[in-house]
Amino acid sequence: MGLEIYGPIGIGGLNQNIHVNRNVYNTNSGKELYSDSFNRQSVKGYTTGSAIQRMINANPKIRNIVKNFNPQMKLNIEELNKLLNTHASDTQNIAKGIAENLPFSLKNKVDLKAIDDAAYLHDIGKVLIPESILNKTGKLDEIEINIMHKHSEIGYELLKTTDINPVTLNLVRNHHQNAQKTGYPWVNKDFNADLNLQILSVSDKYSALTEKRSYKEAMPPKKALTIIYQDVKEGKIHPFVFKALINYVNSFQTIPA
């Protein structure tokens, strides 16, 4: 399903009436690259109920993290599958588009496979977040926010019991962190929000802002980009990553009237 942008914005500008179909994006060669051509079988196996249960059994720390809000260790597999089929897939496509639109000098610093896998897995920890919080129609209170923020740590603790790539694993843990270290979970002074993490973080945020959720309507792309631009001004995201996001969005042709 496409989205429309009706006006220019700050850096780079956006063409009017752009239709954004996130299942396909343009490459520099002018060819179209479809998301279905990417093989995700290697990470899908981590998201089954049986696989997640094995991860829980292999890491007692997970039970300790969730004991105050999910003592029965209920797995919200249905909710996880919804996330994988919508938000995770969308985040993957956005990340690929950003990577493709980076300056040539930065492209060799991108681990596209790690980003792609992390984009698919980044919310796996929500399988242990209560459904009443995940799908709450109103604003989360402070306690609920703290519980929701546990999902990235839970995802990390689940996946670290597997043979998943360490780069992917750390992207999952830190996908809500930034270059100013003001996100979550906590990181030490040596933490580096590298290019791979910034691509994943921006892709996740743009997808979340522009999709409909139980507590909000879908945000227009122009407004979402304005919010993300504030992160650029605060030094959380490198301007080249933001510009690549704009170029990705701007690469789609207008639908004929």
Q: Which of 178, 193, 116, 184 is nearest to 150 (CA)?
A: 184
Model-level pTM? Answer: 0.83
Residue 27 has pLDDT above 50, yes or no: no
CATH number for the region 4-250 comes to 1.10.3210.10
Average pLDDT, integer, range 154-161: 98
Residue-wise pLDDT tens digits, 187-236: 999 999 999 999 999 999 999 999 998 889 999 999 999 999 999 999 99
Residue-wise pLDDT tens digits, 83-106: 999 999 999 999 999 999 999 999
Q: Which of 256, 221, 171 is nearest to 4 (CA)?
A: 221
Residue-wise pLDDT tens digits, 121-133: 999 999 999 999 9
State the pairing for strand pair 4-5/24-26: unpaired
- Residue 177's Cβ-side half-sphere holds a number of Cα atoms within 13 Å equal to 23
Q: Which of 151, 148, 162 is nearest to 124 (CA)?
A: 151
pLDDT band at 32 (very low <50, low <70, confident <90, very high): very low
Share of the chain above pLDDT 70, in %: 82
**Residues in CB range of 92: below 8 A, 6 or more apart:** 35, 38, 40, 116, 119, 120, 203
pLDDT value, residue 13: 45
Residue 257 has pLDDT above 70, yes or no: no
pLDDT band at 9 (very low <50, low <70, confident <90, very high): very low
Q: For tokens 């984009």, what's the residue?
A: 119
Where are the domains positioned within the chain?
Answer: 4-250
Question: How deeply is 134 buried, as exposed, middle or buried, from its count of CB atoms within 10 A (0-12, 13-18, 19+)?
Answer: buried
The CA dihedral of 28, 32, 34, 39, to the nearest 10 degrees, is: -50
